[in-house]
Amino acid sequence: MPLSLADFDYDLPPELIAQFPLPERTASRLLVVDGVRREDRRFADLPELLRAGDLLVFNDTRVLHARLHGVKDSGGRIEVLIERPVGRHEALAQIRASHAPWPGSRLLLEGALEVGVVAREGAFFLLRFPGTEDLVDLLERHGKLPLPPYIQRHSEAADEARYQTVYARARGSVAAPTAGLHFDEALLDALRAKRIDFAWLTLHVGAGTFQPVRVEDLARHRMHRERYVIPADTVAALAAARTRGGRVVAVGTTSLRALEAAAQEGEILAGPGETELFILPGFRFRTADALITNFHLPKSTLLMLVSAFGGLENLRRAYAHALAGRYRFFSYGDAMFITRQDPQ
């Protein structure tokens, strides 16, 4: 199927971009998309959409305090957004500055961290942090929570909880796996009571998730790399769900992408890995039967992924329905429950 960037564009009124979370996590709306069928529900209705024996696969990554402000050794102000740690003392980062720093120069971040610029790697800079303390611990003490660029405000105290899932535990992301933000402990308990099984994986979301696709010919686009871990217990849970006839439901595009990356050789392989898998309509999914996801940016790789999963025309109609119905979009917005539609 020849596709271009324009095939994934849509007009989004700015007022539909959610700037704050709702008071309750489960109060968001849920658009159910099953082929051409659409149904308006509430996220709290999720137990009614699942049945005993189904398996939910969650991404347990935790968002780092990955945003830091400071100055170059020349005195110019900068903003640093960590893309991902690449060791105990080094990280790839985006740097916003009037003039990019040179390799070999130094940055003073948050008035406390004297950081060396080791090299430039495309759009990112390799930074070395001082001392013997682990980089992640340094970020937690000195950095700030990095809200997405389309949220037009600084992070607040409430975001410390609300821009993390209630089950976040593996520190390493610079953006939340936002489908999981809709779950609270009461909903998780209700799902367990219905004998819905849970499985866990970790995919650390990089800042590259917000990078726009800049080429009209999608065959020329290259994804940013992301790290993931699939535990052996999760591989066993997936096999058990299949054996008993349960459905596998990926909670978020990050969970789905990790599963598909781990299944590229056929069977899902346990263990760590890195992926730059780019999923477009026509892709044949091996792992999940349904997907819970938020609404995604125009022309984004995440919109391309969900269009591949639910069918391009189905998703176009679903987004038109959501726009007409004034759904709330992006990280703090509403959600979708999409049933997989295999390409013919």
- Write the Ramachandran bin of 61: left for phi over 0, alpha for psi from -120 to 50, otherwise beta: beta
| Closest C-alpha among 78, 86, 84 to residue 66 | 84
How much is the pLDDT for 266? 85
Domains of the chain by start residue, with CATH: 5-63+158-339 (3.40.1780.10), 67-142 (2.40.10)
How much is the pLDDT for 217? 87
How much is the pLDDT for 1? 61
- Which residues lie below 8 Å from residue 263, measured CB to CB, with a gap of 6+? 269, 286, 287
How much is the pLDDT for 220? 85
For the chain, the residue count is 344
pLDDT string in tens for the chain (344-residue length): 689 999 999 999 999 999 999 999 999 999 999 999 999 999 999 999 999 999 999 999 999 999 999 999 889 999 999 998 888 999 999 999 999 999 999 999 999 999 999 999 888 999 999 989 999 999 999 999 999 999 999 899 999 999 999 999 999 999 999 999 999 999 999 999 999 999 999 999 987 777 778 888 898 888 888 999 999 999 999 999 999 999 999 999 999 999 999 999 888 989 999 999 999 999 999 999 999 999 999 999 999 999 999 999 999 999 999 999 999 999 999 999 999 999 97
How far from 163 is each of 23, 145, 289, CA to CA, in Å?
A: 13, 8, 27
- Which residues lie below 8 Å from residue 50, measured CB to CB, with a gap of 6+? 56, 191, 194, 196, 247, 249
Q: Which two tokens stand for residue 331?
A: 């990280």
How much is the pLDDT for 212? 74
What is the b/e burial string over 231-243, where b = at least 16 CB atoms within 10 angstroms of the residue's CB? Answer: eeebbebbeebee
CA 344 to mean position of chain CA atoms: 28
Q: Which two tokens stand for residue 312?
A: 């391009």
How much is the pLDDT for 39? 98
| 231 contacts 237 by C-beta, under 8 angstroms | no
| 134 contacts 22 by C-beta, under 8 angstroms | no
- The DSSP code sequence of 314-325 is HHHHHHHHHHHT
How much is the pLDDT for 183? 98
> What's the rounded Cα separation, in Å, for the pair 135 and 145?
15
Q: Which two tokens stand for residue 167?
A: 């089950």
Q: Which two tokens stand for residue 116?
A: 């060396």
> pTM score, two decimals?
0.94
Kindly report the number of other CB atoms within 10 A of residue 125's CB atom: 22
